[in-house]
Amino acid sequence: MFPIEVLVLFLSVIVVTAVGLSLVCWWCLSARRLHEIRHRPDWVRDRLRAVGPFVLLLALVLLVNKGSQSYIERFSHAYGFEATATIYAIEGDFVVTFQSLVPDITMPYFSAVYVVGYALLLIAPVFLYFFADRARPLKLLVTAYAINYAVAVVFYASVVAYGPRNADRSSDGSSADAPLLELVPDITHLTALWNTNTNVFPSLHTSLSVTVFLLAAMTREEFRRWFGLSSVLAASIVVATMALGIHWLVDVLAGIVLAVVAVTGARAVVTRPKSH
């Protein structure tokens, strides 16, 4: 059972994300589009039928990922490559230097955007693209999500790496500051539900954020406001991963590459015939 402080934090994140999601949908969705849909009673059913197989694929990947989390952690510690020292040898104290350049006054913003902004960035396009003119954007989104998670879990099983804030666990690392833990100590109870502190390469926060940005760029003619908002959120989250000492620069670069691979793979999987 979680302490009451953790439950309050969890509920707060849900409420703030829900409010943010409502505001984003209100701001980004066309009233004309919603009016058209209300006069087509079969539209929702047809859209669900069109995207259903892709959503099931994502659900399957997430279930397997969650169900095998403890096994993956044990496997990685037993057989995985310990990469912390290697990463540190490549980039040295880049993150520590980067943190020294980021003003302390911005840490509450980066902490909030890393937790709530990230959730909003991933969830909002699901709703927005559900109401798109075609089903293709939503198909691409959920397929790209599935590829991100599927590829990331392979790396997490085969690579053991601690982030900069935990680098002192490696004899060759130097630990960075951990502003998020200083501001919200109980956040570790929430992140432990779906992640471990050795799942840093590649940065899934980066890969999924960049994935959303790339797809927002592809749909900017229809969702121009969302493109602008997602650009700010995605960039902020990528910066936050290092400003908060959670990821190395190498993790972030690998996350960007994974995002490109995921979007490219999704475009190959999703066929181009006209969708409902």
Listed by start position, the domains of the chain span 4-269
d(CA 262, CA 7): 34
pLDDT in tens, 119-157: 999 999 999 999 998 999 999 999 999 999 999 999 999
pLDDT in tens, 68-85: 878 888 888 888 889 898
Residue with the two structure tokens 């912390």: 84
d(CA 192, CA 185): 13
Q: Is the pLDDT of residue 100 over 60?
A: yes
CA distances from 128 to 94, 109, 169, 221, 268 (A): 37, 25, 42, 13, 22
Residue with the two structure tokens 């833990």: 181
Confidence of residue 113 (pLDDT cuts 50, 70, 90): very high
pLDDT of residue 8: 82
For residue 81, list its beta bridge partners. 159
The predicted model gives 156-162 an average pLDDT of 90
Instruction: Note the pTM of the prediction, 2 decimals.
Output: 0.90
DSSP symbols for 166-204: GGGGSTT--PPP-HHHHH-TTHHHHHTTT--TT--SS-H
- Omega into 202 within 30° of 0, i.e. cis? yes
User: Could you tell me if 167 and 174 are in contact, meaning their C-beta atoms sit under 8 angstroms apart?
Assistant: yes
User: Could you tell me if 121 and 234 are in contact, meaning their C-beta atoms sit under 8 angstroms apart?
Assistant: yes
Confidence of residue 172 (pLDDT cuts 50, 70, 90): low
Q: Compute the radius of gyration of the chain from its Cα atoms.
A: 19
pLDDT in tens, 198-208: 789 999 999 99
